[in-house]
Amino acid sequence: MLKHSLRSVICCLLIALCCSLSALPARAGEEKPALDPIVRVVDLNVGEATTVTLSNGEQVKVKLRDLKETRDPIRNAVRSAIVTVEVDGETIELEPGMYNLPQSIGKVQVDCSITSGYNSNGTPSFWGLDKDARLRFWPNGSPLLKPGSFIYPVEQRWFATRTWYDNEPVDGGTKILPKIYYHSGLDIGGAEKLTRVIAATDAIVVSSGTDVLDGHKKDTPIAQRYDVVYLLDARGWYYRYSHLHKINDRIRPGRLIKQGEEIGILGKRGASGGWSHLHFEIKSRQPSGKWGTQAGYAFIWEAYRSQYHPALVANSRRKHFITAGDSTVLKGTQSYSADDSIVSYEWTFSDGTTAKGPVIKRTYPHPGSYSEILKVTDKAGNVDFDFAEIQVLDPNHPEEYVPRLHASYWPSLKNKVGEPITFKVRSFNNTFGTEIWDFGDGSPTVKVKSDGNVKPLNEDGYAITKHTYQKPGDYLVKVERSREDGVKAETRLHVRVEP
C-alpha cells in the first residue's frame, strides 16, 4: 500500500511538470509562456517615457531622465553607471549590476540591468540592448520570481569564494587588452571536481554538451560546447551552465527535470580562464526583440535567502582595478541584515591597519593583489565577513596584470569540528615560489605549489591541501604567493565551523 501511494505521488509530480512544460513552444519566445514572469522589462533612451503595465495589472508612468557612466583611465572600461529614472513623478537613481538589488519607489520595485556604454568596447550581443538603458519592474512588495520556482544553483555557502557578476569588467589574462569582457551572467566560484551544480528550475534539457534538442538549434541563445548544459523553463527562459567538470549522465536533451536535480560537477573547462567556477546565465527575449541576458543576481540572492535564511551577510564585492599610488573606495553598504540592524562595519587591511565605517577610501602605494577584510556586526551580535579584492598595477608595466590567486574550499556548508576540509589554490601570472596557507586557527602555515596557470585547462592545476579545525568558530583563512621581484598576491576565505 505504501509503495502504491509513493508511486502515485511520483506520477502526480511528473504529470504536473510535464503539463507546465508542454505549453512551451518549439522556440521559446514565439508565444506566451506557461509561467508568466513577474518582471516587466523596458528599454529606453534618455528623455524617453512610457507606461508600464505591471504583473498585477497596475500601471506606472516611467521616464529615463539621465545616464552617467564612469570609465577608468587604464582600460577605458565602464566601472559604474548611474541612471536617473522617474516613476509616476518621483525620481530615483539606480546603478546597473555590480551586486545591486531592486529598489522600491511608489508602486514598484525597479532596477537597471545594463546601459549602452557597455556596448562600446564590450560585446553588444550579450544583452541585446539597442537603447540607452534597460529597466525592470515588479509590483512593490512582490517576490521577484514565483515562490518555489527557482533555487540557488550550487550547493555551497553564499560568497564562499570569488564571484564575477553582471557588468564587472573581467580584468584577467596575461596582457591588458583594449576590448573588454564585461561580464553578463554570474560566475560563481567553487571547488573544482567537488561542488555540485543543480537545476535552479523545473525545466526541459535542450542542450547537453554538443547535443542539442531539435527545434532549439536555430534562433535561440544556445551556444553548445562540451562543458555546457542549457535548460528551458516554463517562463521561456534559457539557463546556461558552463565550465562543468562533468555533466551528469542523466542530463540528456529532451528530458524533463525537477529543480534540485544534479546538472553536474563544477569545474574549469571550456573558456574558463583556468579558475574553477560555474558560469550561470539566463537568456530571454528582450524589448529589442533580440535574445539577451536576464540579469540574475537579484534572483539567486532571493533564492538563497529563502533557502538558507541568513541573519547577516557581509558584502564588499565588486573588484577594484587601479595603478600603484592611486586610491579606491571600499564599500560595505550592500551588506544584508534580516532585521536591518547592522551596527558596525570594521575593516582590517593587508598592512595590519584598521578602519571603521561602511565606506572607506584607501591608497595603495605598491603593486600587487590585495584582499581586505570587512567584518559586519548586527545588534544581536551576529557577525559575518567578506573580502574586497584590489588589483594594483605596476605603473612601470601598465600593460601587464599583476599576479593573482584563486582559492576555494569544500564543503562550505555545515562544517563540523574534527571533520577535514579540502582547500584548493591556483596562482595566475606567476610560477615563482609557493603558496602559503594560514588557516586562521594558530596552526603552522602550510606550503603548496600550483602550476601558475601555464596551461589553463591542466587537470592538476590547483594545489590541494586539507585542514581540520578543533574548535567551532569563524576562521579567516589567508593564502599568498610572491613573485620573484616581491610583488605579492593574496586572497582570503571565511570558514564557519560548527560544534
Label residue 374 exposed, middle or buried (CB < 10 Å: 0-12, 13-18, 19+): buried
Cα 285–291–293 angle (5° rounding)? 90
Percent of the chain past pLDDT 70, that is, above it, reads: 94
Q: Are 157 and 385 in contact (CB under 8 A)?
A: no
Q: Which amino acid type is present at position 92?
A: I
pLDDT, position 17: 45
Nearest-angstrom CA–CA distance, 90 and 77: 31
What domains can you pick out in the chain, each with its CATH number? 40-139 (3.10.600), 163-306 (2.70.70.10), 310-402 (2.60.40.10), 404-499 (2.60.40.10)
Is 23's pLDDT higher than 90?
no
Taking the CB of residue 169, how many other CB atoms lie within 10 A of it? 21
Instruction: Output the average pLDDT for the chain.
Output: 93
pLDDT tens-digit profile of 362-381?
999 999 999 999 999 999 99
Nearest-angstrom CA–CA distance, 111 and 96: 7
pLDDT, position 311: 98
pLDDT, position 493: 98
Nearest-angstrom CA–CA distance, 335 and 312: 8
- Please tell me the chain's helix, strand, coil percentages from 3-state DSSP, rounded to the nearest 5: 10, 40, 50
Structure pTM?
Answer: 0.93
pLDDT tens-digit profile of 421-471?
999 999 999 999 999 999 999 999 999 999 999 999 999 999 999 999 999
Is 21's pLDDT higher than 70?
no
pLDDT, position 30: 52
Lowest mean pLDDT among 130-144, 175-189, 265-279, 325-339: 175-189
Q: Which amino acid type is present at position 324?
A: A
**Parallel/antiparallel/unpaired status of strands 488-498 and 415-416:** parallel
Question: Which cell is 51 given?
Answer: 507606461
Buried b (16+ CB within 10 A) or exposed e, 470-495: eeeeebbbbbbbbbeeebbbbbbbbb
Label residue 11 exposed, middle or buried (CB < 10 Å: 0-12, 13-18, 19+): exposed
pLDDT tens-digit profile of 313-372?
999 999 999 999 999 999 999 999 999 999 999 999 999 999 999 999 999 999 999 999
3-class DSSP state of 62? strand
pLDDT tens-digit profile of 49-103?
999 999 999 999 999 999 999 999 999 999 999 999 999 999 999 999 999 999 9
